[in-house]
Structure 1
Amino acid sequence: MLEEIAIEDLGVIRAARVPLAAGLTVITGETGAGKTMVLTGLGLLMGGKADPGTVRAGADRAVVEGRWDLTRHPAAARRVDDAGGTVDDDGTVVVLRTVAGGRSRAHLGGRGVPQGVLAEIADDLVTVHGQSDQLRLRTPAMQRAALDRFAGADHAAVLAEHRTAWAERAALQAEIDDLTSRAAERAREGELLRLGLAEVERIDPQPGEDVELGTLVARLGNAEQLRQAAQLAHDAVAGEDMDTEGSAVHAVERARRSLESVVGDDPGLQEPARRLAEAGYLLGDIASELSGYVADLQADPAALETAHARLAELGTLTRSYGSTVDEVLQWASDAGLRLLDLDDGGERVEGMRERVAELDEQVAKLAARVTEGRTEAAGRLAAAVTAELAGLAMSGARLEIEVSAAEPGPAGADQVTFLLVPHPGAPARPLGKGASGGELSRVMLAVEVALATASDDADTVLPTFVFDEVDAGVGGRAAVEVGRRLASLARSTQVVVVTHLAQVAAFADTHLVVTKSATGDDATVTGVRAVSDDERVRELARMLSGQDDSETARRHAVELLESSVVGR
């Protein structure tokens, strides 16, 4: 429920606070006083598009603040929490919109949010009906949605199940179409993978083989240079034999012996002598290794040619499938998995086609149940709306609801058409072609009343209904009945009505008047105030005759108020 709206510098409104209570609240006032700005402010709170032109002349920005009671709307409260906003301990949340220049800002529960978040929350909290909504009521989609709402929770569950099955079937069919349309492309890809895998299998590369062969080629190709370098190093370390004078081994051995000859005189030389002995052993090992290397190193042209040939063979793979043999082996592993996936495509398509066939049968059965539910509900809704129309000064008028076959879709295989018979003997014509604005207003109100009273569930929470000029084109006795139906709807939920008819305003639980006045600088200022007792009588008299001091109009106003109480 919307508890209040505070408006600053919006249109002709400098500052106004609009208190909204449960039941039926009507907003009245002279033409041009700013009633529309109240609804414009509500539209901003609902995440509507901001128009910089609505900022009051001379003001920097317009501000609209509203307070929603979410105690009976847990889903909306969770959405506030998800957006980072705070719901107060009493279950209310403050919504704020500011419009300045070409920009607007939205705040929800103290946190800045995109205006789209406000629109998401408002979807569950409020339903607005105006001239544009009457136009929407002409469309088959809106008529079908209204019938589905009336059909109840069981029907809604079947419809949701149908939508889910339809979505799964559509997704599978799209995948099947994609696979079959790319069958030739997949076949070419599979053939290329098979050729590549066959070549890898024929050459049979081993992990790291290219690196090992590169080392071998470098060794065999430079055998003479390697032999000379190793021989030179060996001679420097050991000479022709280990005792060659001038060799590193001989020099270290002389140094060791020299220290050991005097170590008895100074024990401090014992450690250097020991380390020289170790160095001698190490040099001896190196000399032996170099000697063996020189002896084993032989030029082998045949082995070198074989290594070059193998490297060239591996090169055919690395040029096509990776820069190294290890990368080629990884490609082969991935290609094998991809080939399995490609080869499995036919079986997958067949499996998906079987599932699509199952879903076709399921969707058909669900669609039949949806049609059955709509057909049954159509008769009840048509009867309920027709009964309401009789009370709205459209005696003899009748609403017929036609459920006919249509192209299957997510919402079923039905087209729903609301047909209005305006008087006995007249042909039934679709609302979009034959109904006047006044008739549409009353049909729309009758539909909402029927929808609001359809559920037997006491826990059902209806949104706040806002009607803008729902009484357009209505007068006399029909206007009284419009007011009565709005009051009836307000027993189940909060209803806010902008009206110019005293017959409707007389049924209000709360009556708000939008007034305008001129200031000293010739600017027009609009305010909103609640009226009751004599002030309310004067406002109704003004609405009836244009003069709030007319005794005849005042008596009529009092009569309207008295009859509205009795009429409830």
Structure 2
Amino acid sequence: MITDLHIRNLGVIESADLEFDPGLTVLTGETGAGKTMVLTSLQLLIGQRADTGAVRVGSARAEVDGVFDLDAPTARRVEALGLVAEEGELIISRTVASQGRSRAHLGGRPVPVSLLAEVGDGLVTIHGQADQMRLRRPAVQRETLDAYGGEVHATALGTYRRAWDEAVEARKERDAGHASAAEREAETASLTEALDAITALAPREGEDEELLAETRRLTNIEDLRQALERAGLALGGAEDAPGAVELVRQAVASLRDGLVFDPDLGGLADRLASTALDLDAALDETQGRLDGLRPDPQRLAEVHERRAALRELMVGRASDAAGLIEWARRASERLEELTSPSLDPRELDERLRLAQQKVLTAGADLTRSRAGLAGSLSADVDTELHALAMRGAHLEVRLASRKPGPHGLEDIEFLMQAHPDMPMRPLSQGASGGELSRIMLALEVVLGRGTEGGTFVFDEVDAGIGGRTATEVGARLARLARGRQVLVVTHLAQVAAFADHHFVVDKQGATTSVRRVSGEERITELARMMGGGSDSDAARRHALELIEGAVVPPWEA
């Protein structure tokens, strides 16, 4: 509920600070005094559109701040949005510039105005003439009937919505599956052919580089032989010229001869002896390679053929053998997806059929639940309407079968019979503004049974009524205010007499103030509302009688 409301430079209100309590609070005042600005400030706090024309003339901006005490479910929802409600308290602020954009803050943080609407939807419910017109819409009538149901109905509604969402998804998958069947077949054939070729070739990682080296060796075999022969001659020497191996051995022998004169030459001699062994091994390897080097045209042809096969498979897939192997791995995974039973058109058709059957089953349960609620809601609303001076009125909730849709297997329509001698007509056609306001109140009273919490705001709910009917409206509002907060803008003393808290909106010149009244001041205001003078003893006695007679009926009334 809202506990504090601070208004600055909004319409005719220069400054107003209001503290609210649970129960029924009424706002009264002369026509044009600015009662609507209080309602406007609440609308701004719950994210409704800002009108720069509402900024007080001569002011740069209007400011509205509201402090709300949150119940546990609302606090959890606020925290789920990433906001902080310290000790269950949330501060909402709205600034409207006379020129430029409006700004919003939640818990001291700047937020988009759209977030205010998301949060405010669970904080305040405002009923004005626009909301009465909304009641004419079939969607609002369906939501009202569903809101009347308890947990069992909410479960049936949730089951149907999940079934519908699953069916919609199954249809999308089925349609996509049928539309792409030819594409999948073509892709499957292409991948299968490529994978078969890769499997048959069985490439190895690094094989392309090995084949390139072998190609160079076999293609340039004569040049390679000459290089090896030169290397062998340099290492082994010829008949008339010793090679590197013999020359190093001679050096070792000479150093060992010098050991007699310099023992330190032993280390150098040993190192050269080791070098001589390495050179001798290199000479053997060079000779072995030379002996094994023979022209092999057949092998060269085989190497060329395999390299060509590898290159052909790599085109558009990879740049080397390792990449081709990785491509094959991914292609195998994709082939498994394409051939999965879940993508089989017949399987998709069956899944859609089962999902649609779930919709029909859940829809039948929802229809039975709604049919039971319709009669009960109609009877409860009729009771309230009869108490609101619509004695012969009857509200009928009609269910008309339709093909399955996102909200069920039927359309919901409210029909109104203002009098037994009059025909039943759709609420969208047969109810006046005054009747709609009373139907709205009756619905809120009925829906409010057994629940607590929340803030309800009513504007012009008593339009076009008076006398005993006005008293009944006040009694119903007071009954609705049990366990919750109800704010009412009214011009009827019979309604205001039921208030737990009373604010008067006064206009002096171009400035409006809002003040709380009680005791004698409240009696004076009720006397004024009845058309009597503030100093009229008769009007004051009548006002006191209204207050003393404002007895709230029990829920069963």
Structure 2-normalised TM-score?
Answer: 0.91
Partner AA of 1:236 in structure 2? A
Q: In the alignment, what sits opposite 1:521?
A: none
Q: In the alignment, what sits opposite 1:99?
A: 96
- 1:311-330 alignment to 2 at 5 Å? 311-330=307-326
How far has the Cα of 1:530 moved from its partner? 0.7
Distance 1:479 1:279, change over 3 A: same
Q: In the alignment, what sits opposite 1:61?
A: 61
Q: In the alignment, what sits opposite 2:226?
A: 228
Residue 537 of structure 1 pairs with residue 523 of structure 2: yes
How far has the Cα of 1:81 moved from its partner? 2.9
Q: In the alignment, what sits opposite 2:468?
A: 477
- 1:25-64 alignment to 2 at 5 Å? 25-64=25-64
Residue 339 of structure 1 pairs with residue 335 of structure 2: yes
Partner AA of 1:230 in structure 2? L
Distance 1:321 1:404, change over 3 A: same
Partner AA of 1:525 in structure 2? T
Q: In the alignment, what sits opposite 2:396?
A: 400
Q: 1:270 and 1:166 mapped to 2: Cα distance?
A: 96
Q: 1:214 and 1:497 mapped to 2: Cα distance?
A: 91
Q: In the alignment, what sits opposite 2:507?
A: 516
Partner AA of 1:277 in structure 2? A
How far has the Cα of 1:250 moved from its partner? 4.3
Contact 2:475 2:551 in 1 (8 A): no
Q: In the alignment, what sits opposite 1:129?
A: 127
Secondary structure at the residue paired with 2:122? helix
Q: 1:188 and 1:86 mapped to 2: Cα distance?
A: 55
Q: In the alignment, what sits opposite 1:7?
A: 7
How far has the Cα of 1:223 moved from its partner? 1.9
- 1:347-366 alignment to 2 at 5 Å? 348-366=344-362
Per-residue CA shift, 1:378-405, capped at 9, x if unaligned? 1111111111111111121111111221
Across the aligned residues of Structure 1 and Structure 2, the Cα RMSD in angstroms comes to 2.7
How far has the Cα of 1:137 moved from its partner? 0.7
How far has the Cα of 1:264 moved from its partner? 5.3
Contact 1:83 1:113 in 2 (8 A): no
Structure 2: state its 5+ residue gaps: none
Contact 1:367 1:413 in 2 (8 A): yes
Q: In the alignment, what sits opposite 1:448?
A: 444
Q: 2:368 and 2:219 mapped to 1: Cα distance?
A: 89
Distance 1:78 1:151, change over 3 A: closer
Structure 1-normalised TM-score?
Answer: 0.89
Secondary structure at the residue paired with 1:298? coil
Q: In the alignment, what sits opposite 2:477?
A: 486
Contact 2:437 2:462 in 1 (8 A): yes
Match of 1:463 among 418, 440, 454: 454
Contact 1:148 1:156 in 2 (8 A): yes
Residue 506 of structure 1 pairs with residue 493 of structure 2: no
Partner AA of 1:30 in structure 2? E
Of 409-418 and 486-495, deviating more is 409-418
Structure 1: state its 5+ residue gaps: 519-523
Q: 2:543 and 2:553 mapped to 1: Cα distance?
A: 15
Secondary structure at the residue paired with 2:508? strand
Distance 1:267 1:444, change over 3 A: farther
Partner AA of 1:39 in structure 2? L
- 1:280-295 alignment to 2 at 5 Å? 280-295=276-291
- 1:116-195 alignment to 2 at 5 Å? 116-195=114-193
Partner AA of 1:68 in structure 2? F
Per-residue CA shift, 1:84-128, capped at 9, x if unaligned? 443333x32222233345334433334343333333332222211
Aligned length: 553
Residue 22 of structure 1 pairs with residue 22 of structure 2: yes
How far has the Cα of 1:48 moved from its partner? 2.9
Contact 2:33 2:512 in 1 (8 A): yes
Residue 387 of structure 1 pairs with residue 378 of structure 2: no
Match of 1:80 among 67, 78, 98: 78
How far has the Cα of 1:198 moved from its partner? 4.1
Q: 1:164 and 1:331 mapped to 2: Cα distance?
A: 40
Q: 2:412 and 2:219 mapped to 1: Cα distance?
A: 89
Q: 1:563 and 1:539 mapped to 2: Cα distance?
A: 17
Of 509-518 and 16-25, deviating more is 509-518
Contact 1:213 1:307 in 2 (8 A): yes
Secondary structure at the residue paired with 1:481? helix
Q: In the alignment, what sits opposite 1:558?
A: 544
Q: 1:166 and 1:84 mapped to 2: Cα distance?
A: 30
- 1:247-326 alignment to 2 at 5 Å? 247-263=243-259, 265-326=261-322
Secondary structure at the residue paired with 2:32? coil
How far has the Cα of 1:547 moved from its partner? 5.4
Secondary structure at the residue paired with 1:124? coil
Q: In the alignment, what sits opposite 2:217?
A: 219
Contact 1:166 1:363 in 2 (8 A): yes
Per-residue CA shift, 1:466-519, capped at 9, x if unaligned? 11222223333322221111011011311111222222222111111222334x
How far has the Cα of 1:352 moved from its partner? 4.2
Contact 2:24 2:501 in 1 (8 A): yes
Distance 1:35 1:240, change over 3 A: farther
Per-residue CA shift, 1:131-165, capped at 9, x if unaligned? 12111111111111111121221111111112112
Q: 1:302 and 1:358 mapped to 2: Cα distance?
A: 65
How far has the Cα of 1:204 moved from its partner? 4.7
Of 351-360 and 156-165, deviating more is 351-360
Q: 1:498 and 1:238 mapped to 2: Cα distance?
A: 118
Percent sequence identity over matched residues? 48
Contact 1:506 1:540 in 2 (8 A): yes
Match of 1:437 among 433, 438, 442: 433
Q: 2:529 and 2:36 mapped to 1: Cα distance?
A: 17
Q: In the alignment, what sits opposite 1:414?
A: 410
